[in-house]
Structure 1
Amino acid sequence: MPNENARSPGLGNAAARGATLLGLSQAVKVVTMFASTVIVVRLLSPADYGVIAMVAPIASFILIFQSLGLGQAVVQRRDLTADQINAVFWFNIFASLAIALSFVALSPLVAMFYGDRRPGYVIAASGLTVVATGVSLLHVALLNRQMRFGALSAIDMTVAIVSFAATVLSALILRTYWALVIGPLVGAIAGSLLAWFMDPWRPSIRVRLQGARSLLRFGVDVTGFNLLNQLSRNIDNVLIAKVWGAVQLGLYDRSYRLMMFPLQTINQPLSRVMLPALSSVLTDPVRYRRMFLFAVRSLVFVTVPGALVAAACSEPLVVLLLGERWLGAAPIFFWLALAASVQSVSNATGWLFISSGQTRSMMNWGVASAIFAIGSIVIGLPWGATGVAAAYAASEVLRIPILYRWSTRNTSVNASDLYAVLLPSLAAGAAGAAVVWVLKERLEALPLIACGLVAAYTSSVAFHALSNEGRDMIARSAQMVRSILSRGRSSTMVAAS
């Protein structure tokens, strides 16, 4: 069966190599994302982005049913039969086709709800992208289960580069929101073709559902959580668009994506590494705890100080990346950056829920989390997009004690471990932000941001070095960097030869 090498003895080395490979691919995604933002945002208007943002919450909510959590089930389960794998593939195909048809059917209602025909056109056309991604969902899950991170990295980089090129070219030619539809569609087609090339598994027309019930139970719980999560994370877009219009939504959407993209870019590939790795050591509590905390400590070391410096530099950073006409996004960006500073650990708690098989507990947490999020959005809405962002940031902080305790139950990780991981990076980010506030009247944007980042990450190294776990994380991270650089020099020498 195509899954056994995920369980090999050299799991730690495989995870480290996987993190390195996926990190490189995510670096490409970050570069293309920011390059696309800087270029395309100057070719399109806030209203164009607002049209896409009107559709996004509706589409993302329905798209949860495309996989029904079966991708995570394929990765988490230790044993899978050929019939189970084949059944998952055909479920993904039929679900994708059904969702594409539902997008077309919903398009008139979407246009009527917003009083604007443009989002209706966009959601109808988005069905093509759904089908393009649906044909490769299982192949990607199998690659992840096998911990074939080189293949996954190649797919990610291909999608990023092709989407970037298609979006920029379409924006130059069309100068409308259609560029933001065409780019992802072309990238999805390229990614699916490559996934089929990378994984040799092929479907059978004969579908047997024996054994699929246990996968569905797992997937239903994951889907329930994802539904609640999507509702709480996208209701803000719907309410801002309905009450304040496309321009305010465009500012909010760009601010959200600008801040959250780096976090998602790091968290998504790390999840691909950690879920199969943690699932494999579930019966070894000491190793499970050590592996999880090392990954989360590394994650916050990279993300948290930068997020707080970005909050302190919100105005010059927004103007630098998006241009003067997007200055209204700066206060929104400030609050969302503060929220991002604690989200790295919050997002990583999903690894605990899924790897330990506690998907029902995860779904129950989704109910509580949705109540927090939706309540905060309603409270902040009278103050526009900035009020929503501020209330959202407050809700992220307030739910931390509940989430940390809830997610660590029945695992070898303690809630106190999560606080110990997060606090040094928060303190380092605060030091970097203080440097920014002292120098902001004296320096231009780039030197100011650079000074803040240097202060933040220097402080982060110092604070983490105060603990044995922090010193171990720094030493192992430095070793990984040296390994990457060594591989890069070797590749260059081979190419030269």
Structure 2
Amino acid sequence: MKPKSLLKGGFWITFGTFATRFFSLISSLVLARLLSPKEFGVIGIVYVFWSFFTLFTQDTAGAFIIYKGVEDPHFLNAAYTVSLSIGLIFAFIMVAVSPLVGNFFNEPSVTQLLIAFSLNIVLSSLYYVYTGVMTRQMQYRELANISLISGVARLLSTIISAVLGLSYWSFAIGDTTGWITGCILAKHYSGRRYRIKLLPEVRDEVVSYCLATVKSNLGFYANANLDNFAVGKFLGSAMLGYYSLAYQLTMALSTVFNSVISQLGMPIFAQLSDDKQQEDVLYKVVEQIAFLTAPLYALFFLIINENSIALIFGSKWIPIATIIPWLLVFAYFRVINTPLNNMLSAKGLPKVNAKVNLHIAPIAVIGFVVGAHTGGILGVSIAVALILGIGWTLYWWWMGCKVLGWSLKKFLIPCFTPTFITIPALALSFYLPFVFRPILFTLIYFVGVYVISPSQFCKYRVLATQAKDWIISKRAGNSS
């Protein structure tokens, strides 16, 4: 893929994902104003279990399509059949266990909400197949359009429902509207015909890949969601409401970056046949992502304080200010680990991701429980930063490099170097007046990059020039 096409594809993915997160953030902002922390906590419980069931549909059959390609209709139909079957099975399971979940948390409304969300399990099983085909075909502009339109549909239906006084049902109505819209558009844009057909000669390969991906997703789910479970169970719905909003805010950027990396990176990684070329490409991707995201998360930390939270969300949400810095640590390393996850999947090794995630999950759960009992939501967020931020990163790269036969040191240097540059920049700018913090931090950070990594400083300039030239060319093309 040519650099200009790569930049163009990255732009459309970023645009689509940013639009989705922007609409989601606006939705959260409106609902935070209209709902109480307890009501936010109720929907937080629902999303914990909704996220669990989507493990079996998200990035399973779709990831297989990206890995295998769309040329053979037998594999495509098999992936479609497996994904739809899984969606239907787990929708019924979700309905069956919903009363147990409601009783466990002593929240009867959770039962009704989970039943409503079961339809979205089926919709997601179809959506990820369609978007998997589109991603493999690199239809990034169409994917961006789908994200934009479905995001608008979700936002409008959510806000209208909330204004009408439907409380946490606004989330269910908005999400279902978004999934239906996305499915209709994705099926149309993918341009493929899908049949329920599972031939024996392709079944084993499809099922094996999907099972390995599900195992990886299970571990990732435990790592990324059971902190919410621990907060909801041991600290109550109100505390989960605080934690959920802080989590949504800090993960907004990482969701955008992870989507860009996955949709753009995995198809490219899958088409690289040379092992050395894959290693070099992965190194460059990690290096650029680390130097891009580290200062962005640091700036987020500088501008989000009690005053800005009270101004945006209301004074009732001020307690989230203490946990945001720790969740930002996890958000940064989550982005850094995504390229390795994609590379292993692209090389047909999702079982390595599964092993890493399942190994770290028990340690993470223990950390969440201990953190909840000793420090409340702050204790949980510290456990997330230390175990899922630093510990998970070290272990994942060690395991990945060991399996691939690549140098661990080579990849850890770009992972951690930008963080070491941001620390003094943060320390020197933190106690300045609010308006001057971002300015001084940016200056100190770029000076640090220039001193410690002059080659990266030159890359900043090259990337800025390429982006500027592409924008100018687009404007010239539109005007003509």
Shared topology, TM-score over 0.5? yes
Q: Give the Å deviation of 1:269.
A: 2.2
1:452 to 393, 417, 437: 437
Q: How does 1:339-488 map to 2 (within 5 A)?
A: 339-382=330-373, 383-395=375-387, 396-411=389-404, 413-439=406-432, 442-443=433-434, 447=435, 451-465=436-450, 466-467=452-453, 469-471=455-457, 473-488=459-474
Q: Which residue of structure 2 aligns with residue 226 of structure 1?
A: 217
Q: Give the Å deviation of 1:193.
A: 0.9
- SS at 1:147 equivalent: coil
CA 123–278 in structure 1, closer or farther in 2 if over 3 Å, else same: same
CA 282–410 in structure 1, closer or farther in 2 if over 3 Å, else same: farther
- SS at 1:438 equivalent: coil
2:301 to 311, 334, 341: 311
Instruction: Give yes or no for the alignment of 1:291 onto 2:291.
Output: no
Q: Structure 2: 5+ residue runs without aligned partners?
A: none
Confirm or deny: 8 A CA contact 2:48 2:229 kept in the other structure.
Answer: yes
| Structure 1 Cα separation of the partners of residues 445 and 279 of structure 2 | 22
Q: Which residue of structure 1 aligns with residue 96 of structure 2?
A: 105
| Structure 2 Cα separation of the partners of residues 68 and 298 of structure 1 | 24
1:335 to 326, 329, 349: 326
CA 318–388 in structure 1, closer or farther in 2 if over 3 Å, else same: same
- SS at 2:430 equivalent: helix
| Structure 1 Cα separation of the partners of residues 421 and 29 of structure 2 | 29
| Structure 1 Cα separation of the partners of residues 336 and 59 of structure 2 | 25
Q: Give the Å deviation of 1:115.
A: 1.1
CA 357–204 in structure 1, closer or farther in 2 if over 3 Å, else same: closer
Q: Give the Å deviation of 1:293.
A: 2.5
Q: Structure 1: 5+ residue runs without aligned partners?
A: 1-9
| Structure 1 Cα separation of the partners of residues 197 and 279 of structure 2 | 42
| Structure 2 Cα separation of the partners of residues 279 and 340 of structure 1 | 26
Confirm or deny: 8 A CA contact 1:282 1:355 kept in the other structure.
Answer: no
Confirm or deny: 8 A CA contact 1:89 1:203 kept in the other structure.
Answer: yes
Q: How does 1:66-81 map to 2 (within 5 A)?
A: 66=57, 69-77=60-68, 81=72
Q: How does 1:131-210 map to 2 (within 5 A)?
A: 131-210=122-201
CA 469–121 in structure 1, closer or farther in 2 if over 3 Å, else same: farther
1:478 alignment partner AA:
A
Q: Give the Å deviation of 1:80.
A: 5.1
Q: Give the Å deviation of 1:248.
A: 0.4
Q: Give the Å deviation of 1:284.
A: 4.8
Confirm or deny: 8 A CA contact 1:300 1:345 kept in the other structure.
Answer: yes
1:267 to 258, 261, 275: 258
Q: Give the Å deviation of 1:434.
A: 2.1
| Structure 1 Cα separation of the partners of residues 243 and 57 of structure 2 | 27
CA 191–323 in structure 1, closer or farther in 2 if over 3 Å, else same: same
| Structure 2 Cα separation of the partners of residues 302 and 165 of structure 1 | 32
- SS at 1:281 equivalent: coil
Deviations 1:299-325 (A, max 9, x none): 223322222333344433433432211
Confirm or deny: 8 A CA contact 1:140 1:152 kept in the other structure.
Answer: yes
CA 300–162 in structure 1, closer or farther in 2 if over 3 Å, else same: farther
| Structure 2 Cα separation of the partners of residues 463 and 215 of structure 1 | 48
Q: Which residue of structure 2 aligns with residue 5 of structure 1?
A: none
| Structure 1 Cα separation of the partners of residues 281 and 459 of structure 2 | 11
Deviations 1:95-147 (A, max 9, x none): 22222222222221111111111111110100122223333322111111111
| Structure 2 Cα separation of the partners of residues 413 and 454 of structure 1 | 39
Q: Which residue of structure 2 aligns with residue 237 of structure 1?
A: 228
TM-score normalised per structure 2: 0.92
- SS at 1:400 equivalent: helix
Q: Give the Å deviation of 1:34.
A: 2.8
Confirm or deny: 8 A CA contact 1:166 1:183 kept in the other structure.
Answer: yes
Q: Give the Å deviation of 1:343.
A: 2.8
| Structure 1 Cα separation of the partners of residues 54 and 327 of structure 2 | 25
TM-score normalised per structure 1: 0.89
2:418 alignment partner AA:
S
| Structure 2 Cα separation of the partners of residues 35 and 265 of structure 1 | 15
Q: Which residue of structure 2 aligns with residue 4 of structure 1?
A: none
Q: Give the Å deviation of 1:346.
A: 2.5
CA 476–247 in structure 1, closer or farther in 2 if over 3 Å, else same: same
RMSD: 2.3
CA 189–54 in structure 1, closer or farther in 2 if over 3 Å, else same: same
- SS at 2:103 equivalent: helix
| Structure 1 Cα separation of the partners of residues 340 and 172 of structure 2 | 32
| Structure 1 Cα separation of the partners of residues 197 and 300 of structure 2 | 54
- SS at 2:19 equivalent: helix
Q: Give the Å deviation of 1:412.
A: 6.9
| Structure 2 Cα separation of the partners of residues 484 and 398 of structure 1 | 39
Deviations 1:432-474 (A, max 9, x none): 42244221xx44xxx2xxx333344444444444546514532
Return 124-133 or 297-306, whichever deviates more. 297-306
2:7 alignment partner AA:
A
Confirm or deny: 8 A CA contact 1:428 1:456 kept in the other structure.
Answer: no
* Identity of matched residues, %: 20
Return 306-315 or 183-192, whichever deviates more. 306-315
Q: Give the Å deviation of 1:196.
A: 1.4
Instruction: Give yes or no for the alignment of 1:258 onto 2:254.
Output: no
CA 327–212 in structure 1, closer or farther in 2 if over 3 Å, else same: same
1:56 alignment partner AA:
Y
Confirm or deny: 8 A CA contact 1:345 1:418 kept in the other structure.
Answer: no
Q: Which residue of structure 2 aligns with residue 54 of structure 1?
A: 45
Confirm or deny: 8 A CA contact 1:346 1:400 kept in the other structure.
Answer: yes
Deviations 1:258-299 (A, max 9, x none): 1012111111122111001011114251x3233222322232
| Structure 2 Cα separation of the partners of residues 282 and 315 of structure 1 | 51
Query: Number of residue pairs matched?
Result: 476
